Amino acid sequence: MNTYTGRLGNVPIRGLSGRMYKFRAFPLETQFTDFAAVFFVTGRERNSEGRIAHSRIYCGQSGNMSVRPFSEEQSASFKANHANCICILPVEEDTSRVSIELDIHKNYRLLSGM
């Protein structure tokens, strides 16, 4: 994975297993090169205490992040839910990506895959 400008920091996401995954946050419109990752779509905003908070919207995984990992219909739904950020966790191995995605889905109530 290349280093992308516009990186917004790290976002820890816990799976039901208790494992903590450290995602890297980027603006939702970021175009990535070809690498595999678990991704998390969030609504990023400053909370009342001035800290950055992410509302969890959708989690998925892709073997090639250079191709938009969700449809235009999904993107419209994300934006209707105030999505403005995509958080990524590079993971090359297919089985590991699926396992991480399932672990996260079991811990959070998220939008469905549509």
In-domain check, residue 35: yes
Q: Is residue 31 part of a domain?
A: yes
Indicate if the alpha-carbon torsion angle 15, 56, 46, 91 is positive or negative: positive
Euclidean distance between CA atoms 39 and 87, whole angstroms: 5
Is the confidence at residue 86, as pLDDT, over 80?
yes
In a domain, 22, yes or no: no
Q: Is residue 62 part of a domain?
A: yes
Instruction: Determine the structural domain holding residue 79 and report its residue range.
Output: 27-87
Q: Does 54 map to a domain?
A: yes
CA 66 to chain centre: 14
Q: How far is CA 22 from the centre of its chain?
A: 11
Q: What is the pLDDT of residues 25-34, one digit of tens each?
A: 999 889 999 9
Domain count of the chain? 1
Q: pLDDT digits over 15-56, tens only?
A: 999 999 999 999 988 999 999 999 999 888 888 888 877 777
- Note the pLDDT of residue 4: 58
Q: Is residue 79 part of a domain?
A: yes
pTM over 0.85: no
Output the average pLDDT for the chain: 85
